[in-house]
Amino acid sequence: MTAPGRSSALAPLSAASGRELAIIFVLGAAALAAVIAMARYGVLPVLAFGFLAYGALLAVIWAVAVRAPGRRWRDIGLQRCEPALLVIGCLAAFLWVGISIVIYSAAGVWEAALAAGGNLIDPFRGRPVMLAALFVLAVPTAALVEEILYRGLLYGWLRRRMGVATATLTSAVVFTFSHFYVFAAGLPFVIEMLALSMLLALLFEINRSLWPGILCHGLNNLALMVAYSLN
């Protein structure tokens, strides 16, 4: 028996069905398209667009995969895990930042990556409140929502039907294609995104808790945002 307040050695995967997953992706894509349209025609500022997009996706996940079937958030991956695994998630983030720099530097695109990130930050320089909101959007918000969707739900559904390697690679491909801008940036960025997604899937596989991956994802984004800000 597991001690109170502690997760089992290997908690069960989310029981979300393929139908629920399909509904989430379709409704999520529709909500995102609507928000993009509002942003494109000047109805929404950039930050409001980002928060609304992630908020809409989280609402769809809650309605379809949590509320309707009578589940709890921990049933789709947000259960507690051993503190040591949280430490592993943090260490993995810092390790991955170093690996990313090596990948980009070896490909000769690190300076270009910093310049592109600096362009993202530029509109918010000298506006502390707006810059803080950008960090909240890019770090905890993105990490939480994306890990629930791509690891808790998508990887969990795949993993119940196939082995670790196939589920990891398949979910990584979907995750990378959803970040379509990396294809315009170049092959090194595509490779880095694929590899990061596989790392996050493996962190989830360790204990079936999303928290190590959320920490890794968020700290990776934080490190990049700080690097962009200092550029």
Residue 7 is predicted with a pLDDT of: 42
Secondary structure of the chain as H, E, C letters = CCCCCCCCCCCCCCCCCHHHHHHHHHHHHHHHHHHHHHHHCCCCCHHHHHHHHHHHHHHHHHHHHHHCCCCCHHHHCCCCCCHHHHHHHHHHHHHHHHHHHHHHHHCCCHHHHHHHHHHHHHHHCCCHHHHHHHHHHHHHHHHHHHHHHHHHHHHHHHHCCCCHHHHHHHHHHHHHHHCCHHHHHCHHHHHHHHHHHHHHHHHHHHHCCCHHHHHHHHHHHHHHHHHHHHC
Share of the chain above pLDDT 70, in %: 96
Residue 216 is predicted with a pLDDT of: 97
Share of the chain above pLDDT 90, in %: 60
210 compared with 47, residue with greater pLDDT: 210
Instruction: Please compute the mean of the pLDDT values over residues 15-33 and round it to a whole number.
Output: 89
What is the C-alpha to C-alpha distance for residues 27 and 19, in angstroms, rounded to an integer?
A: 12
28 compared with 5, residue with greater pLDDT: 28
Please determine, for residue 6, whether its predicted confidence score (pLDDT) is greater than 60: no
Query: Each residue of 70-90: pLDDT tens digit?
Result: 999 999 999 999 999 999 999
Residue 9 is predicted with a pLDDT of: 52
Residue 193 is predicted with a pLDDT of: 94
Within 10 angstroms of residue 109's Cβ, the number of other Cβ atoms is 18
Query: Each residue of 184-203: pLDDT tens digit?
Result: 888 999 999 999 999 999 99
Please determine, for residue 221, whether its predicted confidence score (pLDDT) is greater than 90: yes
What is the C-alpha to C-alpha distance for residues 173 and 68, in angstroms, rounded to an integer?
A: 29
* pTM for this entry: 0.91
Residue 10 is predicted with a pLDDT of: 65
> In the structure, what pLDDT confidence band is assigned to residue 4 with cuts at 50, 70 and 90?
very low
Please determine, for residue 213, whether its predicted confidence score (pLDDT) is greater than 90: yes
9 compared with 21, residue with greater pLDDT: 21
Query: Each residue of 121-156: pLDDT tens digit?
Result: 998 988 899 999 999 999 999 999 999 999 999 999
Q: Give me the chain's average pLDDT, please.
A: 89
Query: Each residue of 152-181: pLDDT tens digit?
Result: 999 999 999 999 999 999 999 999 998 888
Residue 64 is predicted with a pLDDT of: 95
